[in-house]
Each structure stands twice: as structure tokens, then as C-alpha cells.
Amino acid sequence: MNKIKFSHYYGKLYQVPPITQAKLLEAIQIRLEDLSPAFLAYDTDNGLYDLPKKGRYIVLIFAKGENDIFTTLRRDVPHKYEYYVSKRGEVFEIIIEEESK
């Protein structure tokens, strides 16, 4: 199964029972400097994860339920965008690294 890791248990991941899987709906290339401060605050739990001020990233949109979505930002490095685009519609196992320490 596909896997995606998170460094912390972010509020956007919260659900009962705890989230273990989500379906990738879309992958969109962006520049961090084009995103609103409100979106960056949402995506990083108000700065829990420190992002650079600018750079090429990918916004991943996941469904964790019927009508419940969340996003995550990933660095846009060679071949990563193509990888995520090829995985649209597939389910990913959610791994929270903070819990495994």
C-alpha cells in the first residue's frame, strides 16, 4: 500500500476512530510564496511544522471520509509530482512518526 508520513498528529488529521488511511484526490504544483498566510497556518497547525518562506511545493488533497478532506504540502523535487499524479484515486496509509518514537 502507498504510505505518507506526517511528523506530528496535526489537527487536520483528527477523526474518531484515529485516521489510518486516506484517498489521494489531487496533486497541484504551487509556490509557497503564492499561498495565503491562512492556508499555511491551517496546513502547519499554526507553525507546528516550519516551512521556508518560498519554494516549489505540491499541495496534496486527501479524502479521509465521505465529505471530509485535508491537504498537506510536500516539496516539489524531481519526479515527486509525477509520482503523486500517478497515485490519484489510490489509498495511502497514514503514518504519524511522532507516535512511533
65-76 pLDDT, tens digit per residue, is 888 999 999 999
pLDDT band (50, 70, 90) for residue 2: very high
Whole-number Å distance between alpha carbons of 67 and 39: 19
In a 3-state reduction of DSSP, which class is residue 95?
A: strand
pTM exceeding 0.85: yes
Least confident of 28-37, 45-54, 69-78, 80-89: 45-54
Nearest alpha-carbon partner for 16 in 64, 61, 71, 67: 64
What the block records as the C-alpha cell of 39 is 492556508
Residue 8 has a pLDDT of 85
100 pLDDT above the threshold of 60: no
Give which of 73, 39, 77 is closest to 59, Cα–Cα: 73
pLDDT at 101 over 50: no
Q: In this predicted model, what pLDDT tens digit does every residue of 38-52 receive, in sequence order? A: 999 999 999 888 999
